[in-house]
Structure 1
Amino acid sequence: MEEALDHGALMDRIYRWQRRYGFYDATRKYYLLARDPMIEGLNPPAGGTALEIGCGTGRNLVQAARRYPEVEFHGIDISREMLNAACNAISRRGLQGRVRLARADAAGFNPATTFGRASYDRIFVSYAVSMIPQWRAVIADAAGRLAPSGELHIADFGDMAGFPAWSKAAMYEWLRWYHVTPRPDLFAAAVEIASAVTGESHARRLHRGFSWIAIVRRP
């Protein structure tokens, strides 16, 4: 629990001034390039439910709620700063009735106690596994909370295999300043986790490997 509180405080310190002055969303659109392709690929069933782990400023929840108007959305984040921004974004767009938020540590989250739900048709994680220390356990737990035929979608930085070595090294170093660690074994982890739920996984490599999307489908 102490580790979770420390991580939440770290996220607050990193994003407090960026969130308050609108810097976060204004800049992230230029390099969090897999967010919209991930949302486009969710395709949740009408009347279904979806959860975002690490919802940040609520940008993805707003986009997804607009795209899929017959779906109920939930979102969690460990940062109070980010949740405040998400609450404001959802309120401004009149989505309070369809989007619910809670402060929670992804590594210890129980949707049954937080939202009264045991499973979801879609769970998505956008550029958060690279910031969650226990990311493997988090996505394994998420896959276990999928409803039948449910899907887990993960968007994040990739291995940048198509980039020159110097630019890849520079990008990785810049990300480290913000406590971001790309997961080069994300696709391999998705394969293992899909097998554990007798499902299948799918890997999408975008922008010369700059962006990755991993999908786990439960039967």
Structure 2
Amino acid sequence: MTAMAHDQRALMDDVYALHRHFYDLTRKFYLVGRDQLIRNLAPPPGGTVVEVGCGTARNLIVAAKAWPDARFHGFDISEAMLATARKSVARTGLSDRITLAQGDAGTFDTAQLFRLEQVDRVFMSYTLSMIPPWQEAIERSAASLAPGGGLHIVDFGQYERLPALLKRLHFKSLNDFHVCPRRELPAVLKRVAEDHGLTLKFTPLYRGYAWSAVLERR
């Protein structure tokens, strides 16, 4: 693990050591678009799905219930979050279909983490705004896709059709939790799509409150 990754793990463990216990209760009110992303995953029967930055495993559990024929995998840099995730997965009886691991989004390798050379779906739900090497995370996710695979993303937008004051207030509150909405995300996604021969569908949600994107390998 690099020094930067070690520092990020320590930071996330510190931030969420307590907050992880009520994280899902608070986030459901403003992490919009997560369940829409899960509904659109549509993995093939027997397909493999990986979540980058799985946190408490809330999304993996919802996705595993929605798509019972697929196998799910998730990793996070924070051991504190993973401790909560493991308990949640076990409590829902999905340990046979959800595999968890500790990993760094900027350097992850699905073969090393999960023995998967390629995956059918990768998704990132409000994680890019928390990952310092966020562009590397997108690159690695795109490179891991199997033929016909898709990378699904939802994260904070830039409030392009919302009041500027609302943006300033919300972004300030996000900064308290080391969350930084990525203004350059559309341009980076376009470049990654071109570099990897992927199609790109980019959709602003709720007047720019959030951005949704799907990159697909045909």
Q: TM-score, normalised by structure 1?
A: 0.97
Tell me the SS of whatever aligns to 1:42.
coil
Counterpart of 1:5 in structure 2 is: 6
What is the rounded CA distance, in whole Å, between the counterparts of 1:37 and 1:184 in structure 2? 22
- Is 1:28 equivalent to 2:55 in the alignment? no
Moved over 2 A (4+): none
Give the corresponding residue for 2:82. 83
Does the CA-based 8 Å contact 1:55-1:75 persist in structure 2? yes
Q: Identify unmatched segments of 5+ residues in structure 2.
A: none
Matched AA of 1:11: M
The equivalent residue for 2:94 is 95
Q: Secondary structure at the match of 2:45?
A: coil
Amino acid in the other structure paired with 1:187: P
Deviation track 1:9-41 (CA, whole Å, cap 9, x = no partner) reads 100111111113xx2111000000121111111
Q: Deviations over 1:71-127 (max 9, x none)?
A: 000000000111011101110111011100001111121111221111100000111
Q: Which residue of 1 aligns with 2:110?
A: 111
Counterpart CA distance in 1 for 2:215 and 2:8 is 27
- Show the counterpart of 1:67: 66
Shift of 1:186: 1.2
How far apart are the structure 2 equivalents of 1:48 and 1:165? 42
Task: Write the distance in 2 (CA, Å) between the matches of 1:199 and 1:66.
Answer: 28
The one-letter code sitting in structure 2 at the alignment partner of 1:207 is: Y
Tell me the CA shift for residue 179 of structure 1: 0.6
SS at match of 1:7: helix
Matches of 2:115 and 2:163, distance apart in 1: 48
Equivalent pair of 2:200/2:214 in contact (CA under 8 Å): yes
1:76–1:101 CA contact under 8 A, matched in 2: yes
Q: By how many angstroms is 1:183 displaced?
A: 0.7
Aligned-pair CA distance for 1:135: 0.5
Q: What is the CA–CA distance in structure 2 between the aligned matches of 1:74 and 1:181, rounded to whole Å?
A: 25
> Which residue identity lines up with residue 186 of structure 1 in the other structure?
L
Q: In percent, how many aligned pairs have the same letter?
A: 44
Q: Tell me, which stretches of 5 or more residues in structure 1 are unaligned?
A: none
Q: CA RMSD in A?
A: 0.8
* Count of matched residue pairs: 217
Amino acid at match of 1:16: A
Q: Which residue of 2 aligns with 1:15?
A: 16
